[in-house]
Structure 1
């Protein structure tokens, strides 16, 4: 074994000398011989790839660099070689992926600067960037990001976009993230939209759009699209947020009630809000539309309100926060989540009553149930999340609530089932059931009436309301989720 390794080393030494002398064909032949002797030596594949790249055999070079990475995934230089191989072909979307990985691997900025040696902002800003210089400009923009020179990096990305004869979705995406960080939300959205247009299959780009837009309906639409493309991407998206374990947080263990709308979230808020320990936030805050700083400020305000009311914890309910579980667990790591789940057949029938747009068609209502719940499913195994079925709540309320309060480390109190005896005007100033629901105002009035009534059993309405055609659509798109969530045993319904 030692002789073989030495022989491979000798071939490598000779091949490197030939490569430096420009005798690439001879060098490549020796690299191949060395690899036959020792195929698990990563640097043999790396050097072979370098020689092939010098001859513009980029596909073969990329295969060699990937083989080197497979053998030694922690070697940063191999990521650099891959980024260069794609960059020299103007395949910047792929090149940026590997250069970004290199950045994450190399935390030493001085070493990173070696990859853009001799470059500066003035070099690119004072003239049109040539096609041959685009890759160097992109690398330098990334280095500027790492230095914290956000505005300069964003400006350089803009110039690259203007001077490039091509459009690259990842450049728009990178510039959008910088603009969002700078507070330029409108222009961030513009760049993310262009990234999505050029690459409509990226869950990350839709998540960026969801975070950037300032409209409830658009944001949840983009979250659902991202989950539809790749549910796991949602969970990974918030991994970069540093957990806030500050001792200065006054309410460390708040409660969030989340779930697909029309699954019992409002009733759960009313129930928990009747417990002596909890201060209910009496409106849907939609803080998912804000940046991290604003979210933290809002939660701090809730801390103050909660303690001023003589309560120890606050509880907040906004159904689309089911897409924010990962983010909120970073902002308040000791938070608890009550994730409401309801039979999708009843949910789509209930959503039909909504007067706002977006749920006129059956498949739109069904998509909401599917993708909202798939977003929550990612966290079912997290010990800080408890899934509560609406059906369990209405059929066995006391046992279900005792179980919930045990999860929340709180004692059961009979007051919570008497929640309807305390008037609440959370969604409307009147506690009157409207005759018809033809407007948002009437819908809010109806919701407010509901939380002032005793617990109501709303199971099984689909049996009367769902058409045979709708059943066919539901079974085709969502039968597997009814099975997974334990609502049916087969499709004979």
Structure 2
């Protein structure tokens, strides 16, 4: 076999491009056509089993040049490339395996795990769900879906799958217990999480990831001394491991020992001179430098972290998709049409939602912590339910159209109560997720960018308060840039795409406000910082809640906020986050012309 190097696929599989990523699946013959190659495949498998990886690779490449759909050779070459850390090649190979045989549970699980590892939770979930459908009694299928749902901010559903995996396994498996503990930590159920970590470590005291997860839980729960002790235990298991340094840096940062935290990150960078720091480490370094007043260095770290994220994940802003959705929403939600579109009936009994809307990093977490400190309010956190209903709507309304056009089926006699059904589905899911604590009558939903679907929310819950949190646009863009976020069609990796998506969403909000009646309140983050009591009273009055002084002490709220703001909202109200952009004006210069009209319209100005 004579390959020209320039013909090799860019993914790194070492197959020719025409036999790899440029392969036309329609040209593949039936499996029976490659039966004569099975002895070579068997030999490759045997070589791989005994550790003769180079020979196994040679045989697989030879087979796949002749029969690119040969499953056994694909599986062996996938395992070789995965072990080598050649992620693009491994992904390309396992994708082909799954495409050839969607019921191949092993390949489906491997693809889901690979996508989870690179942060593509949306597609990873698709394959993890298919793994559960294909093998509903396989614990690993449920474990994978639990992992993905937990990291996708749906921990209640993730918890179900972790517990199902434990039930199917029939034993207390240490890693599964640790996974469930992390899930419960993300729900703010710290005591339950701690008990599971204790059990997991008692069964297997030398699993590094378990000790690191437990240390992170204690840091989240503000027990920094316990977190340090657990990291000392981790050091005994894996002396000098880079992840231990990162976790120590996070703990030191939370304890406001910024110099020590930065020194640990510098030490971590020195250990990996070829690859440097990863995305999360670079962004953490930038935030530390920001707190130390070293703003130019901080922005350089943010810049490097975002470039590293694009390099590793390939995630770029889905500008066309975002614009198309916004255009279709504006075309559908018009005053003329809305005059004849029915509304759901008001919720007559049971808990009712309060929607906290706002762009990521606008202050929505602080407002939720304030409201959930009230004795009548439970925190729902980032509920994906409105987005889920938008996706489910065509099926639920038996419509051939997509959302939002599927709402036209509400004019059909058999769908005249369709919005009531959508509303009830939302409330049923809230009950199933255990969002509402006993004795409470209201709950919050603060999913970032829910304002994109403000029209749908108002149709389902015409009486629900819509509290829209505003913040200086330059502060929002800067804060999104300094954090690792996936909301907003992956807009967060560049300043310009953050600004463009912000403008797109704000334009959509203004459209909804012009075209339909809304129970809407805009509240500025800066106003709450300036005069907390006045504006908290205003919010509570708008939400039909009596004033309670506990809401002024939101930092004493013991619930864990599952957002990048989890550390800030455990502290008293302070003004360090107001107008941070002033320290970064030269770095934000490219987006200022884009944002100036919105800044003026919202009553802000740009101060040097």
Report the TM-score when normalising by structure 1. 0.47
- Kindly name which structure, 1 or 2, has the bigger radius of gyration based on alpha carbons: 1
TM-score scaled to structure 2, two decimals? Answer: 0.38
Greater relative contact order structure (CA < 8 Å, 6+ sep):
2
